Chains A and B, each alone.
Chain A
């Protein structure tokens, strides 16, 4: 398996634009997590899915953020409109039965810069 695949690797956009980050989890993993990493706040859990169903989105900072998982092999995180304070590295991670205590496999991340 190629691991968790995220795209794009880097994204530079202007304030107010819509940004869509994409994630392909490992085949067979049924849990998917979106994290954001910044120097100031460290790793923050934004939202997670189990069997494609959103379980907890309490970490999503504002209504400008939304996430979907239309099938087991694809998830998106959308920011509309984007703001400079959204600049961060966004990671997607998947796990096989995370609730049973399995570790996560992280993607390489998307470095988002909003100017």
Chain B
């Protein structure tokens, strides 16, 4: 079963616009991670935020985490055509000490030039 649920399922924007996607989860977590998957490729790790952190930045990416609402958001600023991909959130539950990740269904982002 999937732990995280992304919203929206699909997002279409123009180059230069910001893209925001959300992730909700059900259990207590140690950390939450975001991954990108280009068509026909494997997933690429983007950013990790721990349960005691509220916000994290990496380049054009900004991630927030609200553990009280069990939700996270990923913001991509000044999007580019190369950002076209599916984005997945993944959670590491406090009930697992081995770092097992449960992935959501993903948000499909299309950035048009």
Contact = CB atoms under 8 A, between A and B. Distances in A.
Is A bound to B?
yes
Which 10 pairs between the two chains have the least Cβ-Cβ distance? A98-B99, A106-B42, A103-B45, A43-B103, A99-B99, A106-B43, A101-B31, A42-B105, A108-B42, A99-B98
Interface string A94-113: 01011111111111110000
Contacts of B98: 31, 48, 50, 55-56, 98-99
Contact of B97 (A33, A99, A105): A99
A56 B35 CA distance: 23
A45 interface: yes
Question: Interface majority SS on A: helix, strand, loop or mixed?
Answer: strand
Contacts of B50: 101
Interface of A: 4, 31, 33, 35, 42-43, 45, 48, 50, 55-56, 91, 93, 95, 97-109
Question: Interface majority SS on B: helix, strand, loop or mixed?
Answer: strand
A104 B48 contact: no
A33 B102 CA distance: 12
Identify the interface centre among B41, B43, B102, B105: most chain A CB within 10 Å of its CB: B43
A98 to B, nearest CB: 3
B99 A31 contact: yes
A46 to B, nearest CB: 11
A101 B106 contact: no
A56 B106 CA distance: 24
Interface in B68-113: 88, 92, 97-106
